[in-house]
Amino acid sequence: MRMSSADGSPEPFTFDGGRVDPGEVGDYRYRISETYLGDPVRIPVTVVNGERAGPTLFLSAASHGDELNGIEVVREVASTADPAEIAGTLVCLPVLNVPGFLFQQRYLPIYDRDLNRSFPGDSESTSAKRMAKRIFRNFIEPCDVGVDFHTSTRGRTNTHHVRADMSNPEVARLARAFGQPVIIDSEGSSGMLRTEAAEAGAPTITVEMGEAHRFQRDLIDEAVAGVGNVLAEYGLSEQERVEWPGWRTVISSDEKTWLRADAGGLVEMHRGTGELVAEGDTICTISNPFKTEQVAVNAPFDGLLVGALENPVVYPGNPLCHLVELDTDTRAAYRARHARPE
């Protein structure tokens, strides 16, 4: 890990045009591109450099500009972190996709490109890859570990969970440390921040939480606690223990499925994200405008709803809900954790 100088003392965190010495906090608006008029496009960056040596952790959000929950997580951590209590460095990037954020849309307005498929970037390629390159080279590559926050896309919602390549031991360590009970094991696509950061030597996870276009305080609080768990795991803070969520499941790609509509119409959801369903349970029904015809959508196996439709209108083939399979022991642990007191 890139923790300290040869004599063990903490080092300054440097990037193009900036420097934050040990024991200091720096707030920046860092230039990554230009508008059509030549005005600068800047992203907000906070660097908290601890008084003691330790690893460097980045926290990033809003690579999709309408995904807001993670913004508040990163802002809260950045605004409350005390360099006197940190062993290492926090690099806080609350809004990566500033153009998309300003228009409250998922992708970069420039040619509708996905910033989270553009890393590690290319200084001689598209606008998206040029932005990605500036971000990656200055604020991702210097780090030892990272957490990238997302929400579901517009019209859907996700329960709070982690996505990680569990075949990478260091990524698996980070995923478990965050403390959420559901981990979806996937390599990730080329160009994703978590994929490319891990390839560059900074194990990184994606945290999915809730809906686009809003702050959801309960999820934000859970995620801030998850960051605290990560700080403890890697020695950046003196928090004594990593919180155990009470139960946990690691889902592989063949144990999860999106249930899709077989009819067009209006959807009534009967179960919500984070709920346990049994094989055969009716998750939702699809009806025509007169409610004279209804199609029930039933669970094909025992599992947990980790994603669901929010916009209640569908065409045939549209996704309805994301179901992950749970084994008997995990279902029992879930029920014990969520049992209501008598």
Q: What is the pLDDT averaged over residues 124-138?
A: 96
Q: What is the pLDDT averaged over residues 18-28?
A: 97
> Taking 70 as the threshold, does the pLDDT of residue 3 lie above it?
no
> Domains plus CATH for the chain?
13-233 (3.40.630.10), 255-338 (2.40.50.100)
pLDDT tens profile 297-317: 999 999 999 999 999 999 999
pTM listed for this prediction: 0.93
Euclidean distance between CA atoms 208 and 219, whole angstroms: 10
Task: Give the pLDDT band of residue 1 (cuts 50, 70, 90).
Answer: very low
Whether residue 203 contacts residue 170, with contact meaning beta carbons closer than 8 Å, is answered with: yes
> Taking 90 as the threshold, does the pLDDT of residue 40 lie above it?
yes
Q: What is the pLDDT averaged over residues 288-296?
A: 94
What sign for the dihedral angle of Cα 202, 205, 206, 210? negative
Whether residue 251 contacts residue 164, with contact meaning beta carbons closer than 8 Å, is answered with: no
Euclidean distance between CA atoms 240 and 219, whole angstroms: 23
Task: Give the pLDDT band of residue 254 (cuts 50, 70, 90).
Answer: low
Structure tokens of 192? 């994703």
Euclidean distance between CA atoms 96 and 276, whole angstroms: 34
What letters, b where the CB count within 10 A reaches 16 and e where it falls short, cover 260-278? ebeeebebebebebbbbbe
pLDDT score of 252: 83
Between 99 and 239, the more confident residue is 99
Contacts of 92 (CB under 8 A, 6+ apart): 45, 46, 47, 48, 58, 59, 74, 75, 77, 78
* Bond prior to 99 in cis (omega within 30° of 0): no
Whether residue 65 contacts residue 104, with contact meaning beta carbons closer than 8 Å, is answered with: yes
pLDDT score of 246: 83
DSSP state at residue 202: -
